[in-house]
Amino acid sequence: MSVPARHPHRRGCPETTGRADMTYDVIIVGASIAGCTAATAYGRAGLRVALLERHGNPQSHKTLCGHFILGGTHDTLQRLELWQPMLANGAAVSRGLGVWSEAGWIVPRPNQGVPPAISLRRSKLDPLLREIAGNTPGVDLLLGHRVVDLVADPAGPVDGVVAVTPDRERLTLRGRLIVGADGHRSAVAGLAGVPEDLAPNQRFLFWAYYEGAQPNGPGDGQVWLLDPDIAVCIRVDDGLTQVGVFPAKARLKEFADNREQAFRRFVDRLPDGPTLAGARRVSNLVGTTDYPCVRRDPVPRPGLALIGDAATASDPVPAVGCGWAFRSAAWLVDATAEALATGGSLSAALRTYRRAHRFIDKWDDIGRTDALAAPPNAIQRAIRTAAVHDDAIARRLAMFSMRAAEPSVLVNPAVAVRAAVRSRRRTAPEPVRV
């Protein structure tokens, strides 16, 4: 990695320590997925960017993340020239997951135009994105800089941040646009007094990585919809397999009593589940027993935008968050770069960003309902049953699961009717011939 540890990048900008009011076009708080993506794109657009990260070590990374990036993000990653670097760092690509439900396996069909998903552990992904951002002309990556305050005229826009430097000095940076990319607990949102919309999550998550695990289901990865529990088996970088269980909270006690045994029992009972006998587990169990959904206005105040988890930290079970972080960052830059470069109307540009973000809001509404771990309704059951045999419904289900289209790709009356007909046709007993 070319990013030096514990020293900020400074390209053509004044020394940080002791200087107040350094001015940038954009100040981004948080150098993880959303922040690095936005910084890279702004830098490539010719803007001057300060990218502040509280951790001093460029290798620091998020550990509580399953890092399966849904296919709906594929085009964004290609456009931002991040897909190839991820592949070069060993990312595993998934072109079709097998989905098990009580109706049987929904086997992925080839050549249906469903974009591929990608998985690279955060221990590799976060440093890679930071390296790309830090090497982008115009971007000053300020590691070890924790933002502790915002600068704003009470009646005017937010136009600066105060950070504590690695030398424990307070540094003031000013910018026309301040971006909170600082995760689901967003300090920036807290400092700006942005209200939070919280929703419960009735599942919990644990997973581990294996060398030599033998998948037994169809596709290049598997998902089990066990109603209400869910499980996954996913190929990741370095030839490892990630096995994850997402039970409903009714099973919390079982996991509290003996987490290791409960995990193994769960996996061993999966229909066509992976063979772990002979495999070597190469990690601890990673996970959390409570992860509520958080949502904030992505443009909460003039001069301030939130991206990634700072705007929407969705239920982790459908694996949407990294994709939302990449995509919301790209949308913010698409909407605002020109206004920032030319001195155009930033508020109009931010309204455009907020409109683009509605795509995520719609999906988050669905995610919040699914996170309640309620039994599937009749339409959901019909869709799963029909998708076992019906290519068109299987394709729509895959596009839906990959967040590769609007929710209406699956949630619409025509699909419901077709699924009802197709599922009935399949489940009705054959007429008896005498």
Contact footprint for ligand FAD (CB under 6 A)? 29-35, 52-55, 62, 64-69, 146-147, 181-183, 187, 205, 288, 291, 308-310, 316, 319-323, 325
Q: 284 forms bridges with which residues in the sheet? A: none
Cβ distance to ligand FAD smaller for residue 70 or 103:
70
222/224 Cα distance (integer angstroms): 7
CB of 161 to ligand FAD, least distance (A): 8
Contact 320, 66 (CB under 8 A): no
Cβ distance to ligand FAD smaller for residue 149 or 227:
149
Cβ distance to ligand FAD smaller for residue 316 or 367:
316
Question: Beta 117-119 vs 92-94: how paired, if at all?
Answer: antiparallel
Cβ distance to ligand FAD smaller for residue 205 or 335:
205
Cβ distance to ligand FAD smaller for residue 65 or 388:
65
* Secondary element (H or E) of residue 199: strand 197-199
Q: 224 forms bridges with which residues in the sheet? A: 100, 231
**What is the distance between the terminal CA atoms of the chain, rounded to a whole angstrom?**
75
252/249 Cα distance (integer angstroms): 5
Cβ distance to ligand FAD smaller for residue 286 or 416:
286
CB of 146 to ligand FAD, least distance (A): 4
Cβ distance to ligand FAD smaller for residue 367 or 418:
367
Cβ distance to ligand FAD smaller for residue 275 or 288:
288
129/122 Cα distance (integer angstroms): 10
CB of 402 to ligand FAD, least distance (A): 11
Which residue in this structure is represented by tokens 């300090």? 187
Burial 70-92 (b: 16+ CB within 10 A, else e): bbbbbebbeebebbebbeeeebb
212/73 Cα distance (integer angstroms): 29
CB of 193 to ligand FAD, least distance (A): 15
CB of 245 to ligand FAD, least distance (A): 12
Q: Please, what sign has the CA dihedral across residues 299, 184, 6, 42?
A: negative
Backbone dihedral angles phi then psi of residue 283, each to the nearest 5 degrees:
-150, 165
CB of 191 to ligand FAD, least distance (A): 9
Question: Beta 104-106 vs 117-119: how paired, if at all?
Answer: unpaired
Cβ distance to ligand FAD smaller for residue 128 or 187:
187
Q: Using CB atoms within 10 A of its CB, is residue 196 exposed (0-12), middle (13-18) or buried (19+)?
A: middle
CB of 320 to ligand FAD, least distance (A): 6
Cβ distance to ligand FAD smaller for residue 108 or 127:
127
Backbone dihedral angles phi then psi of residue 64, each to the nearest 5 degrees:
-85, 70
Contact 382, 307 (CB under 8 A): no
Cβ distance to ligand FAD smaller for residue 146 or 426:
146
Contact 160, 173 (CB under 8 A): yes
Q: Please, what sign has the CA dihedral across residues 266, 272, 274, 276?
A: positive
Q: 225 forms bridges with which residues in the sheet? A: 230
Is the preceding omega at residue 218 within 30 degrees of 0, hence cis? no
424/97 Cα distance (integer angstroms): 25
**Ordered alpha helix ranges (H), 45-98:** 74-79, 83-88
CB of 9 to ligand FAD, least distance (A): 15
CB of 273 to ligand FAD, least distance (A): 19
